[in-house]
Amino acid sequence: MASSQVVELRDKQFMVDCGEGTQLQIRRSRINFNKIQAVFISHIHGDHCFGLIGMISTFGLQGRKAPLQVYAPEALGPMLQSQIDLFCQHLSFEVTFHAIDTKQNAVIYEDRSLTVSTIPLQHRLPTCGFLFREKPTLPHIRRDMIDYLEIPVSQINNIKNGAGWTTPDGRTFTHEQLTTPPDPPRAYAYCSDTRYVPTLHEIVAGVDLLYHESTYCLDSKQRAETYWHSTAADAATVAREAGVKKLLLGHYSSRYPDENAFLDEAREIFPESYLTNENDIFNV
């Protein structure tokens, strides 16, 4: 199964893997080509990256101007550049390649809203997952207090950032009285092709949403070990040990005519397990 996901946070979009046909699915999903700021490639098996050059070409034909950042194992860099030189000689935007170390758990991307870190995985060639972690937001303003005290709109940002307020008649209200706590920062972990990693739960501990490949069921455990993939039970075990809120299963082998076999196996270990299918949307 070709893999690609789009992670959206505060009107920014990031792509994780780019299997063949990704650009077609983007059109069907009505995703704005220009909103995708960066692409993160977990490893260079074709079902995770064959769609990249086609998507870049389409971005160019659509007149994209914003630069595109590509984060991937080092070996993809020269191949991607040769494809751009051959097929996309007059791109209207810049593609910047960033080589990542798949063996390290490190921050590779950061902006005002979030960080993206690598998650070392174990597959037949260098592979990593990606951890998207939202940065803390400011407290919520209590609209009833703002209206009651007739606090000017110009002071709202100051109050969000910790200030209090003193009324013209000398009454003082603290920051805590004027705000409610911010929403807890959210986190999403994407674990691409990998065999079961006993220590993986330490990196993804407590995330709101975990995607973990589940290519096989336990009846094919030997095959999973041979080809360095995971079973649904493996994925559920990681989710349980990490204490995540919800587990998404995916990357199913075509050997199974009924995907509910993966779901049943996972839910015996971790009840909050769910199947993924094309064009599904999950809120974190």
Bridge partners of residue 248, in order along the sequence: 211, 274
Quick one: three-class SS letters along 18-68? CCCCHHHHHHHCCCCHHHEEEEECCCCCHHHHCCHHHHHHHHHHCCCCCCE
The tally of CA atoms less than 13 A away on the side-chain side of residue 26 is 29
Say how far apart CA 43 and CA 23 lie, in whole Å.
19
Say how far apart CA 132 and CA 186 lie, in whole Å.
8
Q: Is position 258 annotated as part of the catalytic site? A: no
Contact, 192 vs 42, CB < 8 A? Answer: yes
The residue annotated as part of the active site, out of 11, 47, 234, 264, is 47
Nearest in space to 135 (alpha carbons), one of 107, 112, 158: 112
Q: Residue holding tokens 């059109």?
A: 27
Catalytic residue positions, numbered: 47
